[in-house]
Amino acid sequence: MTTNGVSIPPERARAAQAIAGILQPGGRVALTTHVNADGDGVGSEVALWHLLRARGLRAGIANPTPIPERFDFLLPPGADRSDRAAKEIESADVVIVLDISDLGRLGDLQGAVTHSHAVACIDHHVSPASLPAGPRLVAPEASATAELVFDLAGALGWELTRDAARALYVGILTDTGAFRFANTSPRVLRVAGALLERGVDPEEIYEAVYASAPEGRIRLIAEVLQTLVVEPDVGLAWVTVPPDALARHHATPDDLDGLVEYPRSIAGVRLALLFRQIANGRIKVSFRSMGAVDVAELAHQFGGGGHQKAAGASFEGTPADVQEQVLEAARAYLRRR
């Protein structure tokens, strides 16, 4: 099947039909993604919001944490109902979970999603897939969840408006690192081209996402980079976010997005880590790699998940204990490769 000049794999087309099968005219649909939503999660939600509303469904975005301000330019008035997310999910006929298949990353919404009438999932991660049973459009080989929402629309014959295309372009742009990362496939470039043909302005999107940083974000990055440690003998580097740094710089977790790319950019580094404490007292570790190092395999040792080059996990324990545990495992992993 081909749409907008891009072929859609048969299994994705079948999954799209299965999701469409649980969407009833006039029904309420809640769209949600993981805590601390990124550009792919938000872009996929916003695009699907436009697509569903055009079909006469009552859609709303209901996230476990607020949408980062830098993505506000994508949000239609009234679309984001994250301030009453649990109620939005509880009243929905269908919940569509995007960019995540793991119930544990839905934060305080786990219970509401578990007891939902119907739960569909659109995701491109390798994960435990612990969501309630329901239709799944899951393809780890996809570059971004936004690529899969593009396939959903194409398989169902849904028109992509400029607003939906802009949101999908943000998802693809951010998850491919502005088309720099190894997941930048020939196919996703064709998808991006099809989105540009819908009137997307790439310079406008770049400025909104990457060139509108508040001063606090830059000062936060500067402070975190002061913690840089490099072990060139194994190709390991890491940075640590001081516990009070976000508050002191009036920053949010979204302001840490991309920071782990700095240690990964050091010559000879094969594995980069970022350590930070999150709201529930747990320690979040972001893993990034170069070459053949598979950080998803490493993250899985700790109950985490992700992709070969980008993954994450969260831990109970003190920052020092978690750091010691992860660094020991990382060194052993690198020495075997």
Domain holding 156, by residue range, is 2-209
The residues pairing with 286 across neighbouring beta strands, listed in sequence order, are 274, 312
Task: Report helix angle 162-175 to 145-156, nearest 10.
Answer: 150
What count of other Cβ atoms lies within 10 Å of the Cβ of residue 207?
12
pLDDT at residue number 179: 95
Whether residue 143 is found in the same domain as residue 121: yes
Better pLDDT: 125 or 73: 73
pLDDT digits (tens, 9 = 90+) for 26-68: 999 999 999 989 999 999 999 999 999 999 999 999 999 999 9
Look at residue 117 and tell me whether its pLDDT is greater than 90.
no
Which of 209, 237, 269 is where one domain is finished? 209
> Mean per-residue pLDDT for 138-142?
95
Residue finishing a domain among 168, 187, 209:
209
- Residue 250 identity (one-letter amino acid): H
The larger pLDDT score, comparing residue 105 to residue 138, is at 138
* Predicted structure pTM score: 0.88
In contact, 191 and 170? CB cutoff 8 Å: no
| C-alpha to C-alpha distance for 117 and 127, rounded to whole angstroms | 23
Q: What is the mean pLDDT of residues 220-232?
A: 98
pLDDT the model gives residue 104: 84
- pLDDT bucket at 239, cuts 50 / 70 / 90: very high
**pLDDT band, very low/low/confident/very high, at 264 (cuts 50, 70, 90):** very high
DSSP run (H or E) holding 176: none
What CA–CA distance (Å, rounded) separates 185 from 8?
A: 14
How far does Cα 315 stand from its chain's mean position? 19
In this prediction, residues 137-153 reach a mean pLDDT of 97
Secondary structure (DSSP) of 249-260? TT--GGGGTTTT
pLDDT in tens, 74-98: 999 999 999 999 999 999 999 999 9
The answer to whether residues 225 and 217 touch, using CB atoms and an 8 Å cutoff, is: no
User: What's the pLDDT score for residue 128?
Assistant: 67
Query: Terminus-to-terminus CA distance in the chain, angstroms?
Result: 41
Looking at the fold, whether 186 and 277 belong to one and the same domain comes out as no
- For residues 228 and 324, membership in a common domain is answered with yes
Indicate if the pLDDT at residue 127 is higher than 80: no
The pLDDT value recorded for residue 326 is 97
How many domains is the chain partitioned into structurally?
2
Distance (Å, rounded) from C-alpha 223 to C-alpha 96?
38
What is the DSSP code string of 104-131?
Answer: GGGGGGHHHHHT-S-EEEEE-SB----S
Phi, psi torsion values for 52, nearest 5 degrees = -70, -40
Query: Of 183, 209, 235, which one is at a domain's C-terminal end?
Result: 209
Q: Please identify which residue in the block is written with the tokens 């002061």.
A: 226
Sign of the C-alpha dihedral computed for residues 270, 174, 144 and 37 taken in this order: positive
Q: With cut-offs at 50, 70 and 90, classify the pLDDT of residue 17.
A: very high
* pLDDT tens column, 182-218: 899 999 999 999 999 999 999 999 999 999 889 999 9
Task: Tell whether 44 and 181 lie within a shared domain.
Answer: yes
